[in-house]
Structure 1
Amino acid sequence: MRNYMKLETNWLFTKEPQTDVPVTLNESWETVTLPHSWNRYDGQDGKADFYRGKCWYVKELDLAGRKPAARVYVEVPAASSACEVYINGQKAVEHEGGYSLFRADITSYLKDKENILSIMVNNEHQDQIYPQMADFTFYGGLYRGVNLIYVPETHFDLDYYGSQGLIVSSSITGEKQAKVTLHAYVENPGESDQVLFTIYDQDKKETAVISRPAEKDTAAEITLTDIHLWQGVEDPYLYGVEALLVRHNEVLDEVHTRHGFRKFSVDPQKGFYLNGVLTPLRGVSRHQDRLDLGNALTYKEHLEDAQLIRELGANTIRLAHYQHSQDFYDICDEMGFVIWAEIPFISSMNPLPAAHENCISQMKELIFQNYNHASICFWGISNEITIGGDSNPQLTENLKDLNRLVHELDPGRLSTMAQVSQLSMEDEQNQITDVLSYNHYFGWYQGKMTDNEKWLDAFHAMHPGRALGISEYGCEGIITYHNDDPKAGDYSEEYQALYHEHMVKIINERPWLWATHIWNMFDFGCDARDEGGVAGRNNKGLVTLDRKVKKDIFYLYQSYWSKNPVLHICSKRYAKRAQDKITVKIYSNSPEVELFADGVLVEKRSADHVFVFENVSLNDGFTTITAKAGGLTDTTCFEKVTEPYAPYVLVEDESDTGVTNWFDDVDVTQKRPLTFDEAYFSIKDTMNDILKNDEASSVLVNSISSMMGMKLKKSMLAIMGSQTLEGMSSKLPAKEGVDGEAIISYINSELQKIKK
């Protein structure tokens, strides 16, 4: 029988370079417990210098309990981003890609005793491994643990792209009727071996039992009646499927999975249908990291994340921008979220053929390892990939190649991609996948909030046959900043609220949007960022990075999406008020809300989710404000002060933010000669080196902001890190009517005036 063991404790860890594969236990190394990331602190401190390199984990294997003749596998659920596994100094496997599972049969490398497992993990940049560049920290480590698996010589396959060895699919063939197809993949089947498939309902009662002779691909089909459908968050009903590998009267091996019966489709004019029921997909995107943990999460943290999303009332999650933990996919099956799962083909394409092969490999791993998850309905092939430029025709061909692969491997699900806002509506790439979404930040990085609906309506009118969604939208909100007159860029909780009030309203008015995903459910780590005085993270979350505080906008969406009563007084953290009268805003899904000040009724109002009470008088000292609706009560207090409380307002260094009119008095229509005096800065220098010099940084930030037509911060360019402007020059998107090559030549001429 299969035996599965977690290798969690007594690992020795070092960042020190090793001349040879370590085959002994060096007690001077740090002792760590898995899951582990070496960037849990420096990947979130905002210094843009988190450690990227080769690290080693070493452990002595305890093989007690191993049955004679059993095969022994090492299973690594994820290692970011390249990994080599050694047993007693001999390489058992190497893997490229930081988010998917891989295994190695280590039986032939084992000795009778004192076996040393050595694992090298490397998160430094490599041209052939995705992601190449992105707005999040590339945490290194064995952050999902390591496992040992014992199986007999004849067992269900463990070697095919990290898959389970059991695939279950179904098609709805009638009222409460479905055809179920099962495939179990057997290694070294004996002549009389059998595979016994059993399907259980959610109460563990047998629904069907099928016996088949064991083969390399043991297949079976059966039609079930009176099935219970998986109806998303409304009714996430799951069946259990068990495959036993039987020899005479002994079970040699067994695998288990779950299955949800569902069918789905997307109508470009109406939206998403689940089992024939129109189900607008409204939800969030999620990154997997946490404060002081990096991405080294346990089941407990994954479950808490999912519970918060369920509490919000969302019914869909975009799991950005890579394969997430099996724990989280399992929880999504159980809670009924409709999932968009994707690979880290993000921001920039490397033209190397090996890089495309890595994309293909990561897509195969994503699909084969997650095929059985009922929650997954969409495979994402890329995210904002044209940020790195779309002039290379190979990019479009690579995207088409990935789309073909998705349908070849899994014809039952739909393909999708997330486009950057600047990509033209007419671009050929918008016709590649089954459905499409755009990332838009009008009202934050550029433009006005109302540009969102203008753009959406224009695209929908231009392409009425294309299903369109919003894959990202959001703005930064930091809970210590507050403003009575909030504006884009002030990082206040009040502007974040205004922005999302607008967005949820226009989304509600456009049911044809097949899916919308807020960016982001949680603040997340990005070591290159320094936004709003908060270094090392992206602050667009509905909930803080430590999961301790729900921002006001959490309750806004809850009031729209949750079926439970919601009542929330906004701006409670804006506690000191230098006014005699204030405006009190309340989010609720009740049709009416009553507001009280120090126990006296101020007003009863009717509204649609957002209730605004103006000119509420404050008494001297503290005034208790109470809201009542639908049997709920929410209470807070505000203090009247004589002067505005200075820490509520961000005082930011404007030199860190670019302007969009840098070229108003400069002729950038002509290309300038490219000179490269190494004593001065040039486009051959890395982004990091240029940004360290104030004068050179000013030229770079202002020029690129003007070239792209959006105000960029220094920290956003720092994401490009060790890349040179020369290397990025063809990849930076220029606004319409702007000659990008001429501007790059201008930037170089200006940099050549600045001595290093």
Structure 2
Amino acid sequence: MKLIKNILLVVALLLSLISSAQVRSIVDFNNGWKFFLGNDSLASNANYNDSKWRSLNLPHDWSIESNFSSSFPATNQGGALPGGTGWYRKTFTVPLSFKNRITRIEFDGVYKNSEVWINGHYLGKRPYGYINFSYDLTPHLNYGKPNVIAVKVDNSLQPDSRWYSGSGIYRDLKLVSTNNIALAEAGVFITTPVINKNKATVSVKYNVSNTGNQKEIVKLYTDVYDATGKKVATSKHIVLRSIPVGGYSYADELQINTPLLWSTAKPYLYKAVTRIERNGQLIDEVKTTFGIRSFHFDAANGFFLNNQPLKIQGVCMHHDLGALGAAYNHAAAKRQLKILKEMGVNAIRFSHNPPAAALLDLCDEMGFLVQVEAFDMWKKKKNKFDYNLYFDEWHERDVQAMVLRDRNHPSVFMWSIGNEIREQFDSTGTTIAKRLVDLIKAIDTTRPVTCALTENFPEKNFIWKSGALDVLGFNYKLYDYAELPNRFPGQSFVATETASALSSRGSYDMPSDSNRLWPPDGKTPTVKGNADMSVSAYDHVYAYWGSSHEAALLAVNKYKFMSGMFVWSGFDFIGEPVPYAWPARSSYYGIVDLAGFPKDVYYLYQSEWTTKPVLYLFPHWNHNNGDTVDVWSYYNNADEVELFLNGKSLGSKSKPNDVLHVKWRVPYQPGVIKAISKKNGKAILTKEIRTSGTPAKIQLVADRTKIKANGTDLSFITVKLLDKDGNPVPDADQLIEFSVTGPGFLAGTDNGFPADSTSLKNHKRKTWKGMALAIIQSQQKKGNITVTAKSAGLGMSVISLKSE
């Protein structure tokens, strides 16, 4: 069966290559790989026997497949998961007709220290785990016969990261074949230098490659299509009469009448199709998605998109996808972005490294501004084996690869050269900052460059002294915001990190108006942790360098010159489990937990960042008799909120100045707690929470009941414990066992609790605060998928999905 499947994969590859042999062929190269965890120096040989290796498809992260352990050298800062060394091999065939073509392999990211061989020939090494790179396979290919590509991935030197990195070929892989005359890799650059309501000028820069041995005459042009597929503009048909061996660069302009602009609210996209013809025959074609938008920063008034003021409502995001680890998955990434969009997020800082290219495609489509960040360190290390080992040799190639890959994305509006770089404290920061900015500006002058800085006094900040930064990004220290225009006259500002507030979904410590620095700053008393390793979900716990979410929101909103903020962080992520030690293995910083379940503070941002009516009430209403419970409410589009306990009014309250919630201190009685938001005395929304009984059944709710039979699509199933009346039970947890039948499988489980040491691939998961998550992945086969969840004393619950 495996042999037949591999033959079909080779046939599909051949058909794809042959069908587009006259132009450009781009083949998804993710399927049909063999993998071995360990090191074998002979595995690079073409005739090596890999028949006993594991078969899998990419993207792949081997670290996430392990159990968590405190013994791994990455430590819990790196997710308490292993690194190691792994090998990947793939056998494929290209047709004889490709002998006179150029074929290369394009990696979007391998973590890390990858080395690649084709048919035993060494192609090269790439240390940085977050960057794209490619190799020319042409000189070493066997045409019409099998070829073997081998990739060694070495993530054995640990610790190397302040968060979970993952290990392996964890992003997409493509095989690209072109004629000798073709647009170079990243050879089309589109900008929109002039925009008004009547027309937009689209500038197209070309880099044409000639790998032949003689000069060529070709015709080069670009057509632009709108979102409906209608052609709306055509460039001149440029005749290039003498393309020299090596290549040629050219620039052209075309006009689009009555352009539709890309924005975070309406992310309208155009498609440019650039073609090369020789003797009337099409020999190359490149499609580039782009958006028409303008933006600028104003030192006094902040950020403007399409000449309209826009507050940057952003979050910082690491790259892992929870139980899926670092392996990129379209459905999982889209789910994360959808959750953030519903919260009111309009911008993302991908920290502290370039993200997957496919993730930027989603940001283009869904309307997110993106700050792409190059590095977390330069020459001065933060971990013993981090990028400091490679910076001198590789920073130029890595930062240029980032810009070349991402410069056509309308979502990308800023480049960042680093995060809390240690060179900001001495003069080496001045030299390196200028060098990095120069490298970026040599490729793209249309976007500002920033750096996430901690030092906000000019005399202490040597990166700022370079004079190279277009926008100053500052992390935390919101108490100094008012002084920034005086300290840095004429500069534009953005809060590149705010908050570092901590919380666990569904956990509440009282009193809630007692703010806690945790970890402490050395001046305040040490905070004692909770026995269950939870952190209170009221917005009153934060690291000493940070603040509460409310304080950060109020500070950024207070000053027009502050362009906006990026909250640390949007989602919890694996690694950096401040404030606890093992068995905590993932972060508490997120507004959304690792399973994708919003924490209470999610609704604070939703009430401030959206116009949709919001009334949110918490905590749950299962407490002990005699308890005094702090009841909070976030709301908008209303003047006040009235609270009721078992039908009795506890009074109405409005948000006072500099506070973004209302609060009551309520002697607990079981029953119903209810809130009604009102405007001009008229009820707007009602929210009520009931005391629940003991768990009686399991509820399963899928975010999607129909998924694609492509082997990668996902359905995220939320598991809730309910009492006999259907009320959620937030204070009892049960072990749930999952099983799947049909053309799908269990890709992971989670409950959002950062100190659960059960493997994220385990088919058994205990709920946390009454909830858990099961992730179901499709196979490459249509049919019905049945998911069953069972628990002792609760029986079983079943949900059906369709793979089509």
TM-score for the superposition, normalised by structure 2: 0.71
8 Å CA contact retained: 1:272, 1:280: yes
Give the aligned partner of residue 461 of structure 1: 486
Give the aligned partner of residue 259 of structure 2: 228
Give the aligned partner of residue 700 of structure 1: none
Give the aligned partner of residue 118 of structure 1: 150
Cα distance, 1:535 vs structure 2: 1.8
Question: Quick one: distance in 2 between partners of 1:510 and 1:418?
Answer: 19
Cα distance, 1:151 vs structure 2: 2.3
8 Å CA contact retained: 1:381, 1:403: yes
Cα distance, 1:110 vs structure 2: 1.9
Give the aligned partner of residue 462 of structure 2: 428
Give the aligned partner of residue 494 of structure 1: 538
Question: Quick one: distance in 2 between partners of 1:4 and 1:407?
Answer: 29
Give the aligned partner of residue 736 of structure 1: none
Structure 2 residue 588 is the aligned partner of structure 1 residue 539:
yes
8 Å CA contact retained: 1:302, 1:327: no
Cα distance, 1:277 vs structure 2: 1.3
How is 1:298-309 mapped onto 2 (pairs within 5 angstroms)? 298-309=329-340
How is 1:203-352 mapped onto 2 (pairs within 5 angstroms)? 203-210=228-235, 211-214=237-240, 215=243, 216-217=247-248, 219-224=250-255, 226-228=257-259, 230-346=261-377, 349=380
Offset from partner CA, 1:338-373 (integer Å, 9 cap, x none): 211111242762698962342222110111111111
Question: Quick one: distance in 2 between partners of 1:251 and 1:347?
Answer: 45
Cα distance, 1:264 vs structure 2: 1.8
Question: Quick one: distance in 1 between partners of 2:611 and 2:68?
Answer: 36
Give the aligned partner of residue 483 of structure 1: 509
Give 2:569's match in structure 1, choosing from 520, 524, 543.
Answer: 520
8 Å CA contact retained: 1:585, 1:610: no
Question: Quick one: distance in 2 between partners of 1:347 and 1:135?
Answer: 14
Q: What amino acid is aligned across from residue 507 of structure 2 in structure 1?
A: Y
8 Å CA contact retained: 1:43, 1:525: no
Give 2:35's match in structure 1, choosing from 13, 16, 21.
Answer: 13
Question: Quick one: distance in 2 between partners of 1:355 and 1:208?
Answer: 43
Structure 2 residue 603 is the aligned partner of structure 1 residue 555:
yes
Structure 1 pair 496–333 and aligned structure 2 pair: CA distance change class (3 A): farther
Structure 1 pair 530–69 and aligned structure 2 pair: CA distance change class (3 A): farther
Question: Quick one: distance in 1 between partners of 2:372 and 2:59?
Answer: 22
Q: What amino acid is aligned across from residue 285 of structure 1 in structure 2?
A: C
Structure 1 pair 118–293 and aligned structure 2 pair: CA distance change class (3 A): same
Deviates more, 1:133-142 or 1:549-558: 133-142
Structure 2 residue 184 is the aligned partner of structure 1 residue 149:
no
Give 1:510's match in structure 2, choosing from 551, 556, 559.
Answer: 559
Q: What amino acid is aligned across from residue 488 of structure 2 in structure 1?
A: H
8 Å CA contact retained: 2:227, 2:271: yes
Question: Quick one: distance in 1 between partners of 2:590 and 2:438?
Answer: 34
Q: What amino acid is aligned across from residue 115 of structure 1 in structure 2?
A: N
Question: Quick one: distance in 1 between partners of 2:62 and 2:579?
Answer: 21
Cα distance, 1:610 vs structure 2: 3.8
SS of 2:322's equivalent in the other structure is coil
- Considering only aligned residues, what root-mean-square deviation do their CA atoms show, in Å? 3.1
How is 1:328-477 mapped onto 2 (pairs within 5 angstroms)? 328-346=359-377, 349=380, 355-386=391-422, 393-420=427-454, 426-431=460-465, 432=467, 433-440=469-476, 452-473=477-498, 474-477=500-503
Give the aligned partner of residue 643 of structure 2: 595
Unaligned residue ranges in structure 2 (runs of 5+): 1-22, 74-80, 382-386, 519-528, 530-534, 542-546, 695-729, 732-804
Give 1:193's match in structure 2, choosing from 195, 218, 223.
Answer: 218
Cα distance, 1:556 vs structure 2: 0.5
Question: Quick one: distance in 1 between partners of 2:90 and 2:286?
Answer: 28
Structure 1 pair 406–147 and aligned structure 2 pair: CA distance change class (3 A): closer
Give the aligned partner of residue 38 of structure 1: 62
Cα distance, 1:611 vs structure 2: 4.2
Cα distance, 1:250 vs structure 2: 3.0
Structure 1 pair 398–568 and aligned structure 2 pair: CA distance change class (3 A): same
Q: What amino acid is aligned across from residue 535 of structure 1 in structure 2?
A: A
Question: Quick one: distance in 2 between partners of 1:52 and 1:140?
Answer: 6
8 Å CA contact retained: 1:316, 1:337: yes
Structure 1 pair 39–134 and aligned structure 2 pair: CA distance change class (3 A): same
8 Å CA contact retained: 1:43, 1:137: no
Higher relative contact order (CA 8 A, sep 6+): 1
How is 1:40-119 mapped onto 2 (pairs within 5 angstroms)? 40-42=64-66, 47-49=71-73, 50-63=81-94, 69-111=100-142, 112-119=144-151
Question: Quick one: distance in 1 between partners of 2:56 and 2:576?
Answer: 23
Cα distance, 1:552 vs structure 2: 0.9
Give the aligned partner of residue 744 of structure 1: none
Question: Quick one: distance in 1 between partners of 2:70 and 2:603?
Answer: 29
- Structure with greater strand share of residues: 2
Give 2:612's match in structure 1, choosing from 548, 564, 568.
Answer: 564
8 Å CA contact retained: 2:430, 2:464: no
How is 1:715-730 mapped onto 2 (pairs within 5 angstroms)? none
Question: Quick one: distance in 1 between partners of 2:619 and 2:323?
Answer: 27
8 Å CA contact retained: 2:233, 2:254: no
SS of 2:396's equivalent in the other structure is helix
Question: Quick one: distance in 2 between partners of 1:239 and 1:328?
Answer: 18
SS of 1:237's equivalent in the other structure is coil
Structure 1 pair 528–62 and aligned structure 2 pair: CA distance change class (3 A): farther
Give the aligned partner of residue 632 of structure 2: 585
Deviates more, 1:20-29 or 1:310-319: 20-29
Deviates more, 1:369-378 or 1:186-195: 186-195
Give the aligned partner of residue 655 of structure 1: none
Deviates more, 1:47-56 or 1:512-521: 47-56
Unaligned residue ranges in structure 1 (runs of 5+): 127-131, 441-451, 642-646, 649-756
SS of 1:234's equivalent in the other structure is coil
8 Å CA contact retained: 1:284, 1:317: yes
SS of 1:195's equivalent in the other structure is strand
8 Å CA contact retained: 1:143, 1:297: yes
Question: Quick one: distance in 2 between partners of 1:282 and 1:577?
Answer: 39
Cα distance, 1:296 vs structure 2: 0.2
Offset from partner CA, 1:37-87 (integer Å, 9 cap, x none): 121145965655343343210121143697564433222111112212111
Question: Quick one: distance in 2 between partners of 1:425 and 1:231?
Answer: 40
Question: Quick one: distance in 1 between partners of 2:264 and 2:458?
Answer: 35
Structure 1 pair 173–19 and aligned structure 2 pair: CA distance change class (3 A): closer
8 Å CA contact retained: 1:72, 1:149: yes
SS of 1:485's equivalent in the other structure is coil
SS of 1:537's equivalent in the other structure is coil
SS of 2:553's equivalent in the other structure is helix
Give 1:614's match in structure 2, choosing from 664, 688, 691.
Answer: 664
